[in-house]
Amino acid sequence: MKKLKVGVICYPSLGGSGVVATELGIMMANKGHEMHFITSSMPFRFLNAHPNMQFHEVTIEGYSVFKYPPYDIALANRIAQVIESEGLDLLHVHYAMPHAVSAALGKDMAGSDIGVITTLHGTDVTILGYDPALRNTVRYGINKSTIVTAVSESLKQDTINLIDPNKEIRVIYNFIDEETYVPRDAGTLRSDLGILEDEKVIIHISNFRDVKNIPDIVKSFHEITKTLDAKLLLVGEGPEKENIIKLVDELNLQDKVIFTGKRNDMSELLAISDVMFHLSSKEAFGLVLLEALACGVPSIATNVGGIPEVIEDGVNGFIVPYGNIDAAVEKGLLLLEDEELYAKFKRNGFITVKEKFHSSGIVDQYEELYYEVAGK
């Protein structure tokens, strides 16, 4: 089969959608396809020495006449240029807003009829879909795409309910790089972070947005420390950080909660952790839950969005109702105190990663779509 030239549009900074877009790009490049990333900066983990990967930067001058720099238009312009200069066969757009709209515009500017695959990742639908100022634009971007995929059944259903698009939505799950996410020897990391030998470690990893509901994690942890010696690792940065620090102070947990900031050593941090807490109010998939399972860390997570498609209650973790701190504490203690149950969940987690979310199967599904859209 002919190798394809694919334009990839994604948010390049740390975040699940950018990670999935980049890993997929690397795996497609390894299969021989030419992957052209059209983004505002070089994506995290991008391999710029790979012969099949190219980065096309979207730049925008800060003209003083603009109150807001027109990034979406500049992106469309760059997409049009790259379609023409590279002779792209298709575009793969991650996130409907604004990327699917910029892709439609860029294609039109270039007078091109190449196909566009739009992958929905979550808040492009579950938050923006509620906003009357943006809902029509999200629907327009989706309807203008050739093929639309969602990262979970739950997100597919939310999209149908909220956006009512005229496109069929196919579900392709997320995946992880199995070479990065493996149980590791973390060296001295545990003691470097000030964790004592007999302490249990609870970890949460996110971008500290409101939807991640970190206050419930801190409150659950507070209750757990009344029974167990434990530390809470809060990994990441984001808008809610100040509020979380305040709550940690109020509960007098300063010595037990460790804010690590953004880190690149996720699998080492997971290696020193016993359980992940992920109590979000919205979550289309929860890539970190999959990363944790691959590193042998079970989760306590909420019954929202696509989470129950990753965490199977009583099999590789526990699902608790959103907002129910008592349930999170009870299940957390159960898992941390029952060694046999813990070992079973850990084993089951490895099976989930291998059988349901293995990268090779998922990359093949995307490759089939690429050929379908390119008509080759």
Q: Which chain residues interact with ligand GMT by CB under 6 A?
A: 11, 15-17, 20, 121-123, 126, 151, 174, 207, 209, 211, 282-287
Q: How many CB atoms lie within 10 A of CB 64?
A: 6
What's the closest the beta carbon of residue 6 comes to ligand GMT, in angstroms?
Answer: 18
Distance in Å, CB of 260 to ligand GMT, minimum: 18
Note the helical H segments in the chain. 16-30, 71-86, 101-109, 123-126, 135-144, 153-163, 189-192, 214-224, 241-250, 266-271, 287-294, 307-310, 325-337, 339-356, 359-374
Identify which of residues 11 and 345 has a Cβ nearer to ligand GMT in the complex. Answer: 11
> Which is closer to ligand GMT, CB of 21 or CB of 271?
21
CB of 22 to ligand GMT, least distance (A): 11
Between CA 247 and CA 261 the distance in angstroms is 17
230-235 and 200-205 beta bridge pairing: parallel
Spatial CA neighbour of 14 closest among 229, 281, 198, 261: 261
Q: Give the nearest distance from C-beta 156 to ligand GMT in angstroms.
A: 13
Question: Nearer Cβ to ligand GMT, position 20 or 128?
Answer: 20
**Residue with the shortest CB distance to ligand GMT:** 122
The answer to whether 17 and 24 have CB atoms below 8 angstroms apart is: no
Q: Which residue number, 158 or 274, has a Cβ lying nearer to ligand GMT?
A: 158
Nearer to ligand GMT, 43 or 115 (CB): 43
Cβ 91 vs Cβ 6: under 8 Å: yes
CB of 230 to ligand GMT, least distance (A): 25
Chain-centroid distance of CA 351 in Å reads 21
